[in-house]
Amino acid sequence: MEPGEPREPQEPREPGPGAETAAAPPKPQNAVTIAVSSRALFRMDEEQRIYTEQGVEEYVRYQLEHENEPFSPGPAFPFVKVREQFLRYPGLTLASPGSSTSFPDLFIERFCMTGGNSPICYLKAYHTNLYLSADAEKVREAIDEGIAAATIFSPSRDVVVSQSQLRVAFDGDAVLFSDESERIVKAHGLDRFFEHEKAHENKPLAQGPLKGFLEALGRLQKKFYSKGLRLECPIRTYLVTARSAASSGARALKTLRSWGLETDEALFLAGAPKGPLLEKIRPHIFFDDQMFHVAGAQEMGTVAAHVPYGVAQTPRRTAPAKQAPSAQ
Ligand SMILES: [Mg+2]
């Protein structure tokens, strides 16, 4: 047993009332696979403190002493929990490997206990569409391997989110798109950026690290759209970008269209803070590459996740901070 990892995998539950059929595990190409680390799924502050201050043996002892006490929900919990809505629809199952559970009300299909080693090498084998962790170093490692990944943070206060519809909000540049336009802002300022985007309006941006995750969600959505069930679709996606609708926004929309993708809503803030708008959307998760947008969303009660990609990142540390073995 891995220190910090729970102890006994639970048997999969049967789908709840209203299920159309028992949910057999979907083929990887038909599922959206989300890997969530223990510390993202559960609150493990005390476990992390003991590991850091008292070492691994005390950490193991503490875990064994408390193995029958369920963890409190962590920031990724609502995101994973709403997944159960999909069990009502055959073939539309979100899987959640890479973590563990002693939470009595959660269905986790697969576990990955890595003995303190990095789980990143297993993510591709699991056909992972998204990896969420509390450990920024592991997330960077996953991004470097071409896996959509983000460091997830708890909001400053609890906000009620939908229990029946998964809402996912994405920043554009350096999240869905590459950071090529942000590099121009950094190097030459906003005026040059507007000129550049106008001149290249019909040239799609290169893809960013989370494009594949939007694509995977879009595949599920299209199953509803093709049956005329757009309004009943249990997934809703949002583009929440600092771009302006009047100028640089056109290239973002045309890029998505060139990929055969769309978001249900596209919100162009022209540099305004994102937090107040996200407070209205109430997404289960919001992705951004810039920490001040992540912090602004957190302050307004949104579960926000940082995508460590692109020119906005601070220089990497040379040595990772000490982490408990299971805290990925
Ligand atoms: Mg950005």
Of the chain, the percentage scoring pLDDT greater than 70 comes to 76
C-alpha 172 to ligand 1 mean position (Å): 6
- Band the pLDDT of 37: cuts 50, 70, 90: confident
Q: State whether 189 and 291 are in the same domain.
A: yes
pLDDT at 107: 58
CATH of the domain at 133: 3.40.50
Please name the residues in contact with 40: beta carbons below 8 A apart, sequence gap of 6 or more: 74, 75, 76, 99, 132, 133, 134, 152
* Residue 55 in this model has a pLDDT that exceeds 90: no
Please name the residues in contact with 198: beta carbons below 8 A apart, sequence gap of 6 or more: 247, 248
* Beta bridge partner(s), residue 287: 170, 305
- Band the pLDDT of 217: cuts 50, 70, 90: very high
Domain assignment of residue 12, yes or no: no
Q: Helices marked H in the chain — which ranges?
A: 38-41, 45-54, 56-65, 77-81, 120-123, 136-144, 180-188, 190-199, 211-225, 249-258, 275-281, 291-299
* Beta bridge partner(s), residue 131: 35, 149
Q: State whether 50 and 144 are in the same domain.
A: yes
Strands ordered across the beta sheet of 265-268? 94-95, 32-36, 130-133, 149-153, 304-306, 285-288, 166-170, 235-241, 265-268
Q: Other C-beta atoms within 10 Å of 261: how many?
A: 16
Q: State whether 50 and 105 are in the same domain.
A: yes
CATH of the domain at 275: 3.40.50.1000
C-alpha 180 to ligand 1 mean position (Å): 11
148-170 mean pLDDT? 91
Domain assignment of residue 285, yes or no: yes
* 161, 283 Cβ separation under 8 angstroms: yes
* Beta bridge partner(s), residue 169: 238, 286
Q: State whether 146 and 172 are in the same domain.
A: no
* 80, 93 Cβ separation under 8 angstroms: no
- Where among 128, 152, 176 does a domain terminate? 152
Rounded to the nearest 5°, which phi and psi values hold at 180? -60, -40
pLDDT at 25: 59
C-alpha 213 to ligand 1 mean position (Å): 16
pLDDT at 99: 41
Q: Would you call 71 helix, strand, or coil by DSSP?
A: coil
Domain assignment of residue 269, yes or no: yes
C-alpha 321 to ligand 1 mean position (Å): 26
Residue-averaged pLDDT of the chain: 80
Q: State whether 170 and 301 are in the same domain.
A: yes
Q: State whether 129 and 178 are in the same domain.
A: no
* Residue 323 in this model has a pLDDT that exceeds 80: no
* Beta bridge partner(s), residue 130: 34
171 is catalytic: yes
Q: State whether 47 and 140 are in the same domain.
A: yes
Half-sphere exposure of 192 (CA within 13 A, CB side): 9
Half-sphere exposure of 157 (CA within 13 A, CB side): 6
C-alpha 170 to ligand 1 mean position (Å): 9
Please give the residue that has the higher pLDDT: either 248 or 268: 268
Domain assignment of residue 4, yes or no: no
- Band the pLDDT of 14: cuts 50, 70, 90: very low
Catalytic residue among 45, 135, 144, 171: 171
Structure tokens at 304: 């926000």
C-alpha 293 to ligand 1 mean position (Å): 9
- Band the pLDDT of 315: cuts 50, 70, 90: low
Tens-digit pLDDT profile for residues 71-118 = 888 888 888 877 666 655 544 445 444 444 444 455 566 666 665 667
* 131, 142 Cβ separation under 8 angstroms: yes
Q: State whether 48 and 173 are in the same domain.
A: no
Q: State whether 184 and 305 are in the same domain.
A: yes
Q: Which domain holds residue 190?
A: 166-312
Q: State whether 41 and 178 are in the same domain.
A: no
Global pTM reads 0.80
Q: How far is it, in rounded angstroms, from Cα 217 to Cα 235?
A: 7
Tens-digit pLDDT profile for residues 253-291 = 999 999 999 999 999 998 899 999 999 999 999 999 999
281-306 mean pLDDT? 95
* 14, 75 Cβ separation under 8 angstroms: no
Specify the number of domains making up the chain. Answer: 2
* Residue 134 in this model has a pLDDT that exceeds 50: yes
C-alpha 173 to ligand 1 mean position (Å): 4
- Where among 92, 126, 152 does a domain terminate? 152
What does the longest C-alpha to C-alpha distance in the chain come to? 63
Q: State whether 118 and 187 are in the same domain.
A: no
